[in-house]
Structure 1
Amino acid sequence: MFTAPEPAIRDRMLTARDHACALLGLADVAGGEVWGYAGRTLSGSVKPQGGAAWLRLVSEPADKAGGKLWEGPKEAEASVPPTVPRPRLLGLKDWSVEDWSYRAELYQLVNTPPVSRSPVLRDPVDLPDAWWHDLHQALDQLAPIATDRVAVREQYIRRRVPEFTGITPGEITWTTAHGDLHWANLTGPRLALLDWEAWGTAPTGYDAANLYLHSLPVPDLAERVRKEFAHLLGTPTGRVGELTACTEILQAAPRVPFYAALADGVRQHLDHLNASVERPRT
């Protein structure tokens, strides 16, 4: 998804991956290097004895390890029903070296590739109707799960949404969301939802809004997303979810190049949302 980090980080993570393979009894690493933002994660296919799997290595400074993102995949494995299509977590190992903590997560190998290598879709894709049906089912099964995990904090919404959108959010309806629903975290033509770090409670419509905004460079697909989620997008119930997704992208734009390229489209979408919002009387 991201380019390889600077050499010192790359070397440290490759050394940690070798250690993870030894801890988990993996005979070989065969899948190349799939990097997360700034080299925080390193993933690739591996060959345990008797099969194939996917190894994801997470790193944090030792004094920051733990918390929502660190525990997300493990908690998803325990709480999200198996009917939600995703790679199942097979095992994990934790360790620390000097000032760094690591978690190695071993998953079932998903043979269907992500719809896009980047979170933001750049080229048209043809997804069957069954894929959309399965996505609806997955999100519907996720929504009612009771959890104390928080994908988006209300304090963030109340503070940052007015700052970046010019709109003061009203009442918030909450649901349980994937929390990072974009095209690099969805496989196709057979659906699986990847990367469960961020799942938790979020404003209704937040997942659908994220998928829509990450589709903006491909207008036909963006329109398909809006039609599929018309019960949320553009509605009073889903408005705060849309505003929150817009806010996060605009806030990230100065440091993430693909969000910088997306920012103008997000601002145009905000113009439409602004026009549809009745201004509170003062």
Structure 2
Amino acid sequence: MSTAAGRADESPSSAVFVPPHERDDQVRMRRAHTAAARTFEVTATGPGVWGWQGRTLGRRAGQWWLRLVCAPQDKRNLRLWEGTATAHRALPAVVPRPRLHDVLEWSACGHAYRAELSEYVPLPALESGGPVLTADPELPSTWWADLRRALEATAAVVTDRQAVRQRWVDRNLTRFLGIPAFQVDAWTTGHGDLHWANLTGPPLVILDWESWGRLPVGFDIGLLHAYSLTRPATAARIRHEFAHVLDTPSGRTGELVALAQLLQVAGRGGHPTLAPHLARRAEYLTGTPVPAP
């Protein structure tokens, strides 16, 4: 979960999309972002938008979106670190997304930095304050058809990147859903972080591809559905548009993994208004009450 490339009119109002806690880290990130802009010979003029727990900072720079990622030099998650670039190379043109233009990496004082210069998308995200849906979007049937087409095209991409791992399921499913862990028997390639702050429309553009890779069938759309549970009309629309996925045994498996991951986030204090909806949906699918966090 991070600041998406090329996103317009964002607001960092979610409890998880906030600046780093320490003032010195905020200053350091802003200085690094300015240094990257100078190297790319662009001028960042838009408001700063922080990503997941302050690990990224993005700003508009003319026709570009300049996104900075930072991690301790010895603790980089290479899958996330290289996700935007690998998605740029691997995904077909039919998948609507900001195109990556240039990348810059450097290290200083124990921190690793990666700056990505991508197309700026002059469209607001469908949810500006975070991933949870707060109002029903009025989306035409063509938008839903475009989303289906994009996810189907992504599913056809061959990759060894793993967005969700079987060992996470083995370790955590019982803890968060109260059911025995199961073997995922149907895998596909997907976005890995499909939520309303990563979607625009119409027209559809899918933002933030750093988490993409192999995941259980049904995970992506199960995640989007879970983030919509506070808005029953939109959740019902998703179940209708993607019944061919969610109403299958493999699709239900992927949805359960998505619910378990979000219940893990909720157990750490994230998305408090969503948590009871997640628990009810999980109990509906499994017939088992969700364990207390």
Q: When the two structures are superposed, what TM-score results if normalisation uses the length of structure 1?
A: 0.92
Identify the residue that residue 189 of structure 1 maps to in structure 2.
Answer: 202
Measure the CA separation in 2 of the matches of 1:171 and 1:249.
Answer: 18
User: Secondary structure at the residue paired with 2:151?
Assistant: helix
Q: Does 1:31 align with 2:46?
A: yes
Equivalent residue letter for 2:252: R
Measure the CA separation in 1 of the matches of 2:99 and 2:220.
Answer: 21
How far 1:5 sits from its partner (Å)? Answer: 2.7
User: Secondary structure at the residue paired with 1:137?
Assistant: helix
Q: Which structure is richer in relative contact order (CA contacts within 8 A, separation 6 or more)?
A: 2
Cα RMSD of the aligned pairs, angstroms, is 1.3
Measure the CA separation in 2 of the matches of 1:9 and 1:216.
Answer: 35
Measure the CA separation in 2 of the matches of 1:247 and 1:173.
Answer: 17
The match for 2:74 among 47, 52, 63 is: 63
**1:96-148: CA deviation from partner (whole Å, max 9, x where unpaired):** 11110100000011111110011000112101111101100000000021100
Compared CA separation, residues 154 and 32, structure 1 to 2 (3 A): same
User: Secondary structure at the residue paired with 2:98?
Assistant: coil
Measure the CA separation in 2 of the matches of 1:120 and 1:265.
Answer: 11
Compared CA separation, residues 272 and 66, structure 1 to 2 (3 A): closer
Equivalent residues in 2 for 1:84-163, closer than 5 Å: 84-117=95-128, 118-163=130-175
The match for 1:228 among 241, 253, 272 is: 241
Q: Does 1:202 align with 2:202?
A: no
How far 1:221 sits from its partner (Å)? Answer: 0.3
Measure the CA separation in 2 of the matches of 1:143 and 1:220.
Answer: 27
Q: Which sections of structure 1, spanning at least 5 residues, go unmatched?
A: 277-282
Q: Percent identity?
A: 43
User: Secondary structure at the residue paired with 1:241?
Assistant: helix
* Conserved? CA contact 2:166–2:183, under 8 Å: no
Measure the CA separation in 1 of the matches of 2:99 and 2:108.
Answer: 27
Q: Does 1:265 align with 2:281?
A: no
Identify the residue that residue 247 of structure 1 maps to in structure 2.
Answer: 260
Equivalent residue letter for 2:66: L
Measure the CA separation in 2 of the matches of 1:101 and 1:59.
Answer: 6
Moved over 6 A (4+): none
Measure the CA separation in 1 of the matches of 2:227 and 2:67.
Answer: 24
Compared CA separation, residues 149 and 89, structure 1 to 2 (3 A): same
Measure the CA separation in 1 of the matches of 2:55 and 2:149.
Answer: 31
**Aligned residue pair count:** 270
Identify the residue that residue 178 of structure 2 maps to in structure 1.
Answer: 166
